[in-house]
Structure 1
């Protein structure tokens, strides 16, 4: 889909759209793609219109053209324009990691009816941010160094899938070989990866403002190795009215570890907004 902002060049966003009903927008994390939501997508689409997007520069979406940057002040308005292009007004927004931070920003600027943020970025200390960025760069370097043949071979075994994805999944054995190959390639090929990390370093990205106009759920996997669960306590302090949910047995990307639990958390948040 081509998005045409006013006052800037067009850009393209690849998306998956399923179901009917009140709209739900799904935003993935850095280096991932919309297929990260596949474990919960059909369940959510049973009662809602669900749109999962590849953020610009990730998955199959091309990089943003110049002069666009990847800082929040640029990406959030572009996502708002993407919603207009999709014909969606104030969806329920669900995001993971980077996508969780973007979901909160969309809620802050009036573009979301409710927000469900799964291990959102932006509640770290500086040492925690440096650690997370270092892990992400290591994952990217590993993905870039693997020839496709070796990648497919690793993905065929449970031990290989664990080696490739245990940083973000508590239960990597639940990922199919095909999914692991696809998401490793998505990480390797993401044109937005380096500029997003650069924007995060440059702007000292943190979420520091309360959201009082929309229901907010903050959900954290208790086995999150990238953004530890203690960051959820800080998030709750920043947004006192938010519901903080512990996702037992889940890692940084919980949709794969416990899709039924994540689906319930999202639908509970949507129900609060509807009520």
Structure 2
């Protein structure tokens, strides 16, 4: 059964779907959205239970099967088939799963989940839970923190290399999105044990911020071992959500991946 997802769409050309991470919202892609819309039919989506999208029914699981099936159903609802997909963190893992299932033309995964080392798994869980807990502060406190330059840097320091680039409204909006999302706990329960071990036959890039604190850059070595067929790229001076830290670089990495798909028939 289709669970309709809220999305923002702009541009024309090949469809390109942008998928955010756990606790985030489609506005995470704002720094690159307009740039990408110059070349693609861009759709930034709120995953079920996050942003403005409704949660799954209580009996439904927040696992990869449901995420991929629901996105595939929404692709059809939006009138697209096998789009290019780009994901960050949880969204990166979903993008890889979509590619492995033949539901995407190309995959760009930015610091994707699913390549945990033992210590990294604990680090990731602790930081994400801490972010969730602090987001439960009263709205008045969250608003006060977002209005302070120091507060914005503190709130975003685990996610971005340059949290100072966010406005007070953006930080407050992200905090409310994390506070009010309905899918966090049900997703993280599944995510703690999740491991990506599939094979991809579509052009795939895995790009990792070298200053990522949530999913440390060392995890990229595990990704390289499991997916030697993918292109692996370092994002210098970028944190876990690199779109704000270097939007031009992120857009360029995406374009290089989609170009590889366009060149594939000629290469064959």
TM-score with structure 1 length normalisation?
0.93
Distance in 2 (CA, whole Å) between partners of 1:218 and 1:198 is 24
1:153 equivalenced with 2:144 (yes/no): yes
Distance in 1 (CA, whole Å) between partners of 2:99 and 2:33 is 21
1:176 aligned partner: 167
1:56 equivalenced with 2:33 (yes/no): no
CA positional deviation for 1:200: 2.0
Q: Which runs of 5+ in 1 are unaligned?
A: none
Q: Which runs of 5+ in 2 are unaligned?
A: 264-268
SS at match of 1:163: helix
Q: Does structure 2 retain, via aligned residues, the 8 Å contact 1:123–1:207?
A: yes
Q: Does structure 1 retain, via aligned residues, the 8 Å contact 2:4–2:74?
A: no
State the Cα RMSD in Å. 1.0
Q: Does structure 1 retain, via aligned residues, the 8 Å contact 2:108–2:206?
A: yes
Distance in 1 (CA, whole Å) between partners of 2:188 and 2:70 is 18
Q: Does structure 2 retain, via aligned residues, the 8 Å contact 1:225–1:252?
A: yes
2:124 to 105, 121, 132: 132
Taking the TM superposition and a 5 Å limit, the aligned residue runs for 1:85-100 are: 85-100=77-92
Distance in 2 (CA, whole Å) between partners of 1:126 and 1:231 is 10
1:271 equivalenced with 2:263 (yes/no): no
SS at match of 1:94: strand
TM-score with structure 2 length normalisation?
0.96
Q: Does structure 2 retain, via aligned residues, the 8 Å contact 1:11–1:65?
A: no
Q: Does structure 1 retain, via aligned residues, the 8 Å contact 2:48–2:183?
A: yes
The superposition leaves residues 198-219 of structure 1 with CA deviations (integer Å, 9 ceiling, x where unpaired) of 1223xx21001221x2110010
Moved over 3 A (4+): none
